[in-house]
């Protein structure tokens, strides 16, 4: 058994396999998962686990160079936007694409991690960076 870090074996495997610019998605309970994209379903009930908790844990084990959000988060879920901005900084966060464009980008994800989050637009695309140079 691992002593530290991500204990979920599916998430740990995905994170270990990421290369520079690969993307994963952390999704609320309602975001559709495109055919062919692996879904790691963590949802136990509405609200559990929450978006913040999963983002925090994934960010502990992943080098993240960019975070992409749907622009609708600005009006519909200011709290989630503030959390992401505080966590990653304004230079890393892009919230300028539509929710439809966001969903289209998820087709390129290595995995979608589904949370139990039940607030609107609590979804993010995390783009992998590198931990050198």
Active-site residue identified among 4, 10, 20, 108? 20
Annotated binding residue at 77?
no
| Helices of type H across the chain | 9-17, 51-61, 73-76, 78-88, 99-105
Q: In the chain, what are the domains?
A: 9-128 (3.40.1650.10)
Mean pLDDT, residues 74-103: 97
pTM value > 0.95: yes
Q: What is the pLDDT of residues 41-63, one digit of tens each?
A: 999 999 999 999 999 999 999 99
pLDDT number for residue 3: 81
The answer to whether 121 is a known ligand-binding residue is yes
pLDDT in tens, 8-26: 999 999 999 999 999 999 9
In Å, what is the CA distance from 130 to each residue of 16, 24, 61?
12, 15, 12
Whether 10 is catalytic: no
What is the mean predicted confidence (pLDDT) over 99-113? 98
- Known binding residue 99? Answer is yes
């Amino acid at each position: 058994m691992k002593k530290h870090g991500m204990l979920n074996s599916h998430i740990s495997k995905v994170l270990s396999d990421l290369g520079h610019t690969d993307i994963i998605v952390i999704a609320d309970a309602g975001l559709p998962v495109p055919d062919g994209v692996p879904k790691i379903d963590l949802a136990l009930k509405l609200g559990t686990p929450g978006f913040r908790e999963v983002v925090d844990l994934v960010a502990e084990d992943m080098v993240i160079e960019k975070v992409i959000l749907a622009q609708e988060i600005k009006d519909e879920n200011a709290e989630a936007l503030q959390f992401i901005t505080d966590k990653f900084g304004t230079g890393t966060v892009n919230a300028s694409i539509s929710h439809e464009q966001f969903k289209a980008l998820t087709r390129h994800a290595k995995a979608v991690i589904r949370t139990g989050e039940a607030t609107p637009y609590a979804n993010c695309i995390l783009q992998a960076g590198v931990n050198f140079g």
